[in-house]
């Protein structure tokens, strides 16, 4: 569940960065929110801006269930879809325009999080891991 939370948090932070580059403004911390995903409930820190104009484009206001955007991004990457095409597909699916640079940044951060997850030490009581 931790990896799902990390991926969603990366997407939320990248979305706010893209918004601030386009519209200007400053970051203003986060507020907590719980969200039901296909993997269970996750606790997120939703980014905000000082002017109160930003709301994450990948979340529906007041919605507590969400399509897993990280899963879509990872599936597109795994299928070998180019970053430009992935940006187009995610725009169609999610109703928000992503640049290929944003997709690249998201992919890099997701891969770093996945690599850290794979290399983490396992508890001693685990004799083996079945994949």
Alpha-helix runs per DSSP H in 38-99? 69-78, 83-94
Percent pLDDT > 90 in the chain is: 19
- 3-class DSSP state of 86: helix
**Can you give the pLDDT at residue 83?**
78
Closest of 87, 104, 105 to residue 96, by C-alpha: 87
pLDDT digits (tens, 9 = 90+) for 33-90: 888 776 677 889 999 999 999 988 877 776 665 555 666 777 777 778 787 887 777 7
pLDDT at residue 49 in the model: 95
CB 18 within 8 A of CB 102: yes
pLDDT tens by residue, 96-119: 677 777 777 777 877 787 788 788
Q: What pLDDT, on the 0 to 100 scale, is given for residue 63?
A: 66
- Whether the predicted model's global pTM rises above the 0.85 cut: no
Q: How far, rounded to the nearest angstrom, does the alpha carbon of residue 119 sit from its chain's CA centroid?
A: 21
Q: How large is the average pLDDT for residues 24-29?
A: 94
Q: Coil, helix or strand for 52?
A: coil
- pLDDT attached to residue 94: 65
Asked if residues 10 and 42 have their Cβ atoms less than 8 Å apart, the reply is no
- Average pLDDT along the chain: 79
Selected residue with higher pLDDT from 129 and 34: 34
pLDDT for 65 = 57
Give the pLDDT score at 105: 79
């Amino acid at each position: 569940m931790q990896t799902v939370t990390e991926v969603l948090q990366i997407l939320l932070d990248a979305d706010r960065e893209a918004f601030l580059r386009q519209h200007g403004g400053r970051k203003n911390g986060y507020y907590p929110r719980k969200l039901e995903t296909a993997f269970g409930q996750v606790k997120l820190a939703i980014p905000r801006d000082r002017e109160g104009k930003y709301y994450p484009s990948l979340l529906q206001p007041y919605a507590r269930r969400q399509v897993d955007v990280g899963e879509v991004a990872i599936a597109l990457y795994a299928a070998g879809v180019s970053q430009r095409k992935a940006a187009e597909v995610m725009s169609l699916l999610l109703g928000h325009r992503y640049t290929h640079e944003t997709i690249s940044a998201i992919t890099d951060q997701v891969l770093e999080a996945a690599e850290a997850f794979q290399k983490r030490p396992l508890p001693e009581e685990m004799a083996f891991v079945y994949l």
